[in-house]
Structure 1
């Protein structure tokens, strides 16, 4: 895990740029790589890289980056890990390559020499890669299939400027800090800006599974090289890490039985966790006591000859948010070396400025707060690499909201489309008056979607509905379009074009992989764990697992009203039944409690006094009423207020301030 940044000057300037600028850019990423730093300049000074290293594989100076090929024709940087690099090394050594290090980065470089732009299909892992090809005079940027690692870029004055974090890009004098109105509207719906947007106008994020090539004349080619939907065409990687034309898992087609499905999931999980134990530094597991993290611990314990290091976080005086008892049960069961931290509202409050700094753009999920403290706990105990449980709920339909929205689609939205338009309009008008008076905005939003024929499922977040936004934004649309609805419609259309037979649950899962999983859930893990200089690995999001899980029929994912059915069956006998079948609690943060008490005055002042408010973006009376309703306990508006607090603190610091 590292920090990468760089500039490619494809314009007419003959002087290129100063190496000092690259150093300033990479210095903003020091937390991502405290162990080493480096720069690279092409011979004509048109391309330059800056790098910060967190040493994980090959701790020696031989693993230094940017790394160049023996003849100097290729320079490369990697943020992430390639878990099959030893398999690739054997292949390339057999072809006569002489390695100068034990690092995975060197194998990527030789894969590019052998396979050109198809090199990405040979890689198993998480990665953001920047590669300079001196012979072709082109820059290659690519992001891993799932989007575990971030990569941002912009174009300004004949230059492509890129980095692992936006703060590196903003060091460049040609890059202004301007709010992206379309992203603002999307953030209010999704709690994040969907790729390729960011909250900064003209700064973009490379989408998961995409590669972008910038040629010497400035020609830009961006292509999607992988999709989670099974197409039968995507090159894959077998269980032993060998790149192949078509995965044997895909060739098997739809699972023929529940038993074969269970066996395959177990095999994939065990292999994925084993692959992600590759490290030259200490590693452990974030343990919540849920199915996913407990499975990580159990399978890792099978493979180790020492106790697994486990780390848990809880909240002082707020037991209803804690899962510590379940985490301790797993720690005892598998005899782990267990560590815990309890946080309170003051610790969380004091962390807010650091959170705003490390996010770069607002991530409206308060789980960033406990995630920081458990990451810091791991680092303080000497652990540099951790495995986390993200991705399981998306693949296997583990959220209760999936079941609710699937039922709504089947029993309300779908049959409602047969109702005549005049009748739907009359029903909506009656329901609107009734539900709005009772502040039932989510229910009103469902009826609005059914009436207008909009897609029902937009993503796994229902905090600020379109009705909320009407009040909040004084009836205006920041981006001047139909915003989130257009995005959701486009995403559903993309899924159906790729897989016309996809049922509604598969469409829902595909949408999660399109936006919420990579841009919100995985970015909170990346940004916050890297703030403490540790690397987080995600075994449930091995792309072989994703390719297989997308072939599993809905009847195995939700059965008899049981979400995540097939995964629960697969881990029976691996972890205790009471862990598997307890009510889902989820990793959460008690911002609703804090915003009624210790944080209330600060949050009111921050939001109502923000520059966004002063510029007339928000309805002051609506926000004041929202605070009052929350304070008095009339409604729980904690998540909505947190999303607005995060947004306004970010805007005042990053756009209006001098961050």
Structure 2
């Protein structure tokens, strides 16, 4: 895991080493172990690199790295879990290695197989390659989107980095708010790719590559999609499915144990993290290091009892930390710094502190449970969304449009004054003949934005519509739950859930690996009939059945709690004054975008303890703090 950056100049200016160094060292937290610089002979191409040493700790494995004749250069962030297999293939073809690193394998794979070499790799990565012979730059983001790649083309220079803050160390890059992305952020808690919250700065979507030729022409291509001909024929045999899930998961966890530094597991005591611990224990001759987080004076949000039970059963070397609202408040400036663009998920807070705990105890690599709930339909709200989708499909879509419009008119008069805007927006979607399900983290809906925003901004339904259309063009399986999961893999999972893990773990110089999102397991999960993912109203049914006997049933079938910070309590108690003051006095109000009266309503409404209201409040607080930090230079007092 590392921090990468670079500049390609298409004007009369040469790449300045001093600028590359500033960009590189802005990401010191991503790579505290070593650094490097490459500038080509024409001084038109430059790469910078910060290293977190994981595999082959020797200086020989530092980057930027090149091939034998120094015509191909690379900077690479991530890990390639099957690099030894690919290495054997390349060695048979005559390639001579100087290191044990996975980086060298990427170089030779590109040299041998061309731009489609990427299909040979299994890992998480953001890769940047300069081919001096072809005068070609190529960048890749991994299949699922575990690693970020940001870029911009301004003033005749193409600039890229693992973090946006690195790009801003380039002296000619402008910093402007992207209003289109702002609208999507309010709805999805993060701007969907390729947009970021900064106008002109883009992020490469998951499963895509960027090709930049010597004329400065950019081409973005999708090289991977989870939907393919292999998973069009669904499997329904539960025994076969259970065997395949466990087999693939065991292999995935084994692959992600490749490391020359200490590794462990974030353990909540839920099914996903507990399974990670159990299967890792099978493969180790020492205790697994496990890490858990809880909340002072708020025991109902703590999962220590379950985590401790799992730690005891599998005899782990267990570590715990407790935090409170003051810890969160003190962390806010660093939160918005490390996020780069606002990620309105309060889980960022415990993720940072549990990552810090791991690092302080000497653990550099951790396995996390992200992705399992998306693959196997583990969220309780999926039942509700699926039910609403089917009601709409079989009932409201058969009504005359005039009846649906009348229904909206009636509910609008009843619910809008009360602030039941989430419920109202479902009726509006029916009226406007839109898809019911927009994602697992939809916050400010169109109905909310009518009251929140003074100016009209971009309609966020465009993204949702585009993903559904893509699904229908690629798959003949007419399955609402499968479509919902596909939407999660195209937006919320790569841009919110995986970026919160990457940014918060890397803020503490820890590498997080995600065994449930091995692309082979993900592809297989799309072969599983949805009737087996949710069965007898049990979410995640087939995964729960698969791990029976591996972890205790008490862990498998306990009520899902989720890895969450107690924001509903903090925002109305310890952080109440700070929140109200900030939301009403942030410098963002100079832009004349937000209705302060509606913000007051959100804070003071009798419904303020509802989950959607809590998320509304945190969404705005995260945004306003981010704006003040990045555009005004500091948070307000």
- For normalisation by structure 1, the TM-score amounts to 0.94
Show CA shifts across 1:376-431 (max 9, x none): 00000000000000000001111111111111111234420111111111121112
Q: Is the CA contact (8 Å cut-off) linking 2:602 and 2:608 kept in structure 1?
A: no
2:106 paired residue among 101, 105, 108: 108
2:175 paired residue among 152, 174, 177: 177
- Indicate the residue corresponding to 2:8 in structure 1: 8
1:548 paired residue among 517, 524, 530: 524
- Indicate the residue corresponding to 1:289 in structure 2: 269
* Structure-to-structure mapping, 1:448-467, within 5 angstroms: 448-467=428-447
Distance 1:133 1:140 in 2: 8
Q: Does 1:529 align with 2:527?
A: no
Give the secondary structure class of the aligned counterpart of 1:587. Answer: coil
* Structure-to-structure mapping, 1:347-426, within 5 angstroms: 347-426=327-406
Show CA shifts across 1:306-351 (max 9, x none): 0000000000111111111110110011000000000011111101
Show CA shifts across 1:510-565 (max 9, x none): 11000100000000000000000000000000000011111111111111111111
Distance 1:257 1:316 in 2: 46
Q: CA deviation at 1:117?
A: 0.2
2:72 paired residue among 67, 70, 74: 74
- Indicate the residue corresponding to 1:519 in structure 2: 495
- Indicate the residue corresponding to 2:51 in structure 1: 53
Q: Is the CA contact (8 Å cut-off) linking 1:32 and 1:530 kept in structure 2?
A: yes
Q: Is the CA contact (8 Å cut-off) linking 2:568 and 2:609 kept in structure 1?
A: no
Distance 1:451 1:271 in 2: 47
Q: CA deviation at 1:568?
A: 0.6
Show CA shifts across 1:24-54 (max 9, x none): 0001110000000000011111110000000
1:278 paired residue among 238, 258, 267: 258
Distance 1:586 1:361 in 2: 24
Q: Is the CA contact (8 Å cut-off) linking 1:3 and 1:29 kept in structure 2?
A: yes
2:514 paired residue among 521, 527, 538: 538
Q: Is the CA contact (8 Å cut-off) linking 2:568 and 2:611 kept in structure 1?
A: no
- Indicate the residue corresponding to 1:489 in structure 2: 465
Show CA shifts across 1:59-106 (max 9, x none): 001111000111010001110000001101111111111100000000
Q: Is the CA contact (8 Å cut-off) linking 2:11 and 2:157 kept in structure 1?
A: no
Q: Report the more deviating stretch, 524-533 or 502-511.
A: 502-511
- Indicate the residue corresponding to 1:330 in structure 2: 310
Give the secondary structure class of the aligned counterpart of 2:592. Answer: coil
CA gap 1:593/1:553 in 2 versus in 1, 3 angstroms: same
Q: CA deviation at 1:362?
A: 0.2
Q: Does 1:264 align with 2:244?
A: yes
Q: CA deviation at 1:7?
A: 0.7
Distance 2:532 2:487 in 1: 19
- Indicate the residue corresponding to 1:587 in structure 2: 563
Instruction: Report the RMSD for the aligned CA atoms in angstroms.
Output: 1.5
Q: CA deviation at 1:497?
A: 1.1
Distance 1:386 1:518 in 2: 18
Distance 2:443 2:4 in 1: 34
- Indicate the residue corresponding to 2:457 in structure 1: 478
Distance 2:206 2:562 in 1: 25
- Indicate the residue corresponding to 1:577 in structure 2: 553
Q: Is the CA contact (8 Å cut-off) linking 2:236 and 2:529 kept in structure 1?
A: no
Q: CA deviation at 1:640?
A: 1.2
Q: Is the CA contact (8 Å cut-off) linking 1:630 and 1:637 kept in structure 2?
A: no
- Indicate the residue corresponding to 1:608 in structure 2: 584
Q: CA deviation at 1:207?
A: 0.2
- For normalisation by structure 2, the TM-score amounts to 0.98
Distance 1:523 1:636 in 2: 22
Q: Report the more deviating stretch, 281-290 or 319-328.
A: 319-328
Distance 1:420 1:630 in 2: 36
Distance 2:261 2:610 in 1: 50
Q: Is the CA contact (8 Å cut-off) linking 1:630 and 1:636 kept in structure 2?
A: no
Distance 2:432 2:560 in 1: 33
Give the secondary structure class of the aligned counterpart of 2:143. Answer: coil
- Indicate the residue corresponding to 1:24 in structure 2: 22
Q: CA deviation at 1:256?
A: 5.0
- Indicate the residue corresponding to 1:39 in structure 2: 37
Distance 1:111 1:16 in 2: 30
Q: Report the more deviating stretch, 491-500 or 43-52.
A: 491-500
Q: CA deviation at 1:616?
A: 1.4
Q: CA deviation at 1:504?
A: 1.0
Give the secondary structure class of the aligned counterpart of 1:50. Answer: strand
Q: Is the CA contact (8 Å cut-off) linking 2:371 and 2:516 kept in structure 1?
A: yes
Give the secondary structure class of the aligned counterpart of 2:395. Answer: helix
CA gap 1:635/1:173 in 2 versus in 1, 3 angstroms: closer
- Indicate the residue corresponding to 1:130 in structure 2: 128
Q: CA deviation at 1:188?
A: 0.6
Q: Report the more deviating stretch, 423-432 or 260-269.
A: 423-432
2:228 paired residue among 227, 230, 248: 230
Distance 2:236 2:607 in 1: 54
Number of residue pairs the alignment of both structures matches: 635
CA gap 1:390/1:421 in 2 versus in 1, 3 angstroms: same
Q: CA deviation at 1:198?
A: 0.3
Q: Does 1:298 align with 2:278?
A: yes
List alignment gaps of at least 5 residues for structure 2: none
Distance 1:123 1:278 in 2: 15
Q: CA deviation at 1:605?
A: 1.8
Q: Is the CA contact (8 Å cut-off) linking 2:35 and 2:63 kept in structure 1?
A: yes
Distance 2:407 2:425 in 1: 13
Q: CA deviation at 1:631?
A: 9.8
Give the secondary structure class of the aligned counterpart of 2:622. Answer: helix
Q: Is the CA contact (8 Å cut-off) linking 2:333 and 2:629 kept in structure 1?
A: no
Distance 2:415 2:506 in 1: 44
CA gap 1:75/1:320 in 2 versus in 1, 3 angstroms: same
- Indicate the residue corresponding to 1:219 in structure 2: 217
Give the secondary structure class of the aligned counterpart of 2:169. Answer: coil
- Indicate the residue corresponding to 2:449 in structure 1: 469
Q: Is the CA contact (8 Å cut-off) linking 1:8 and 1:161 kept in structure 2?
A: yes
Q: Does 1:500 align with 2:476?
A: yes
CA gap 1:559/1:631 in 2 versus in 1, 3 angstroms: closer
Q: Is the CA contact (8 Å cut-off) linking 1:145 and 1:226 kept in structure 2?
A: yes
Distance 2:371 2:405 in 1: 39
List alignment gaps of at least 5 residues for structure 1: 233-249
Distance 2:167 2:573 in 1: 38
Distance 1:228 1:125 in 2: 15
